[in-house]
Amino acid sequence: MSTLPAFAVAESSYVYCDNGLRCFKAPCPSNSALDLATGTVIKGVSIDISGLPQADKAITDQSDVLYAGKIVVRGSIEQRTQTITGKDYSLPWLVATRIVRTAMDSERKHCSSH
């Protein structure tokens, strides 16, 4: 029986997208992710797709599927410290591990219309 390392974060499925909010000062809350397991919308989240398999990266490179909320990604939310204009901010990041499926319209309600 294998055990998860202490730093392992539970994975869930998310619909990530541009939520239409704009601001003049960073950090900007212009992207959101809907956690399909809990129904919670995480606002101001960035996405890290560096861990996606190559075939999934090719899908995200081809069009606006990621920012338009057209796909469901599997991953976890991590807090990462980012320095913006000399200040440290602890910001949420969705660390994507794979694309699961196409998102349903009902799962894109938190997204801005494209």
The domain spanning residue 93 has which CATH number? 2.40.50
Is residue 47 situated within a structural domain? yes
Is residue 43 situated within a structural domain? yes
DSSP lists the bridge partners of residue 78 as 93
The domain tally of the chain equals 1
Structure confidence at residue 8 (pLDDT): 52
Structure confidence at residue 113 (pLDDT): 60
Instruction: Quote the domain boundaries for residue 81.
Output: 12-107
Is residue 6 situated within a structural domain? no
Rounded Cα–Cα distance for residues 43 and 92 (Å): 8
Structure confidence at residue 81 (pLDDT): 92
Backbone dihedral region of 69: left (phi > 0), alpha (psi from -120 to 50 degrees) or beta? left
Structure tokens at 36: 């399909």
In the chain the first and final C-alpha atoms are separated, in Å, by 46
> Per residue of the chain (114 residues), what is the pLDDT tens digit?
445 444 556 789 999 999 888 777 777 778 999 999 999 999 999 999 999 999 999 998 877 888 899 999 999 999 999 888 899 989 999 999 999 999 999 999 888 764
Structure confidence at residue 114 (pLDDT): 47
> Do the Cβ atoms of 110 and 34 come closer than 8 Å?
yes
Structure confidence at residue 2 (pLDDT): 46
Residue bearing tokens 């992710």:
33
Structure confidence at residue 112 (pLDDT): 79
